[in-house]
């Protein structure tokens, strides 16, 4: 086998390795994106239930509660959980509130609802 043939063969092997690595990285990125989309939909569904309960609590009590536990059992059966299993985060301030779950968007960024803007972001 000549040196030129050996170099050509090595170039082809390296090209195949680069293609395999690129395909693997694309697969991981698509998997993270799809998983994040499903998790965001789950958080929004559970968040709407909590927002509804918070509105009912404020209508009855005149202000938002200082913790989501105060909604149980009259307004909701249980505090909503994030996809990872932790309770949904809640912060109330100046007549507004935020609901959030960590590690949702691409499995490392939080996904948050702001009652002031009435939008989810992440």
For the cut 80, the answer to whether the pLDDT of residue 80 exceeds it is yes
Task: Using pLDDT thresholds of 50, 70 and 90, give the confidence band for residue 58.
Answer: very high
Q: Phi first, then psi: give them for residue 5, nearest 5 degrees.
A: -65, -40
Tokens of 36: 């994040």
Residues 110, 92 contacting (CB under 8 angstroms): no
Q: pLDDT: is 111 or 90 the higher one?
A: 90
Give, in order, the Cα–Cα distances in Å from 45 to each of 54, 67, 85, 119. 14, 20, 15, 13
pTM, entire model: 0.70
**Which residue is associated with the tokens 């690129």?**
22
Alpha helices in 1-122 (DSSP H): 3-61
**Which residue is associated with the tokens 């009259």?**
74
């Amino acid at each position: 086998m000549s040196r030129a043939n050996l170099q050509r063969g090595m170039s082809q092997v390296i090209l195949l390795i680069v293609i395999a690595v690129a395909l693997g990285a694309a697969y991981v990125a698509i998997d993270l994106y799809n998983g994040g989309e499903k998790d965001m939909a789950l958080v929004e569904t559970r968040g709407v239930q909590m927002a509804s309960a918070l509105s009912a609590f404020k209508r009855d009590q005149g202000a938002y509660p200082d913790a989501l536990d105060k909604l149980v059992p009259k307004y909701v059966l249980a505090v909503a959980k994030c996809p990872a299993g932790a309770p949904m985060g809640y912060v109330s301030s100046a007549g507004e509130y935020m609901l959030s779950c960590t590690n949702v968007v691409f499995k490392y960024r939080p996904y948050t609802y702001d009652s002031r803007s009435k939008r989810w972001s992440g």
